[in-house]
Amino acid sequence: MKINFYNEQDINVWKYERLIKRVFKAFNRKERFDIIFVTKDEIKRINNEFRKKDAVTDVISFANIDDPMNFDYKSLGEIFICVEKAFEQANEYGHSKAREMLFLAVHGYLHLCGFDHIEKEDEKIMFKIQDDILDKAGIKR
């Protein structure tokens, strides 16, 4: 799996990039996607422009393809992670910043693969997959 990282904010994220790469390497797939680390202002702008929600959020994903299981090795899309929001949530939830950053990357990836959590049953499925991936990586709450 190939992940391109772009850091568009002032917090150093190299150790989170390494962790994310390590976890996704275990997937042994040929997909690729981008992760862009952004500020609160930028994610709020994106959230407002594309989701009509004038609020800061933690992660937003944009899939490039209609059928994630038939992608012909094209880029799945982009995942925007707000580092400041992720760090706040880590403190709020009482776990590490690394765990929160990895959770958001996995969450965004699953959205790129077509999962969502709008309906309660879909949420159970998506969150179970997230937990399984994080558990396998040894990332606990």
The pLDDT value given to residue 75: 82
| pLDDT 10s digits, 61-97 | 999 866 555 555 578 899 999 999 999 999 999 999 9
Whole-number mean pLDDT of the chain? 91
The number of distinct structural domains making up the chain is: 1
pTM of the entire structure?
A: 0.90
Q: Over 60: is that where the pLDDT of 117 sits?
A: yes
The pLDDT value given to residue 60: 97
The pLDDT value given to residue 139: 80
Note down the domain range covering 30: 2-136
- Separation of alpha carbons 103 and 31, rounded Å: 19
The verdict on residue 141 lying in a domain is no
* Secondary structure letter of residue 113 according to DSSP: T
Orientation of helix 83-93 relative to helix 97-112, angle to 10°: 120
| pLDDT 10s digits, 6-50 | 999 999 999 999 999 999 888 777 788 999 999 999 999 999 999
C-alpha of 42 from chain center: 16
Q: Over 90: is that where the pLDDT of 59 sits?
A: yes
The pLDDT value given to residue 69: 59
How many residues are recorded in the chain?
A: 141
Q: What is the CATH number of the domain that holds 118?
A: 3.40.390.30
Query: DSSP 3-state assignment of 139?
Result: coil
The verdict on residue 46 lying in a domain is yes
The verdict on residue 119 lying in a domain is yes
The verdict on residue 70 lying in a domain is yes
The verdict on residue 47 lying in a domain is yes
Q: Which residue has the tokens 């930028």?
A: 42
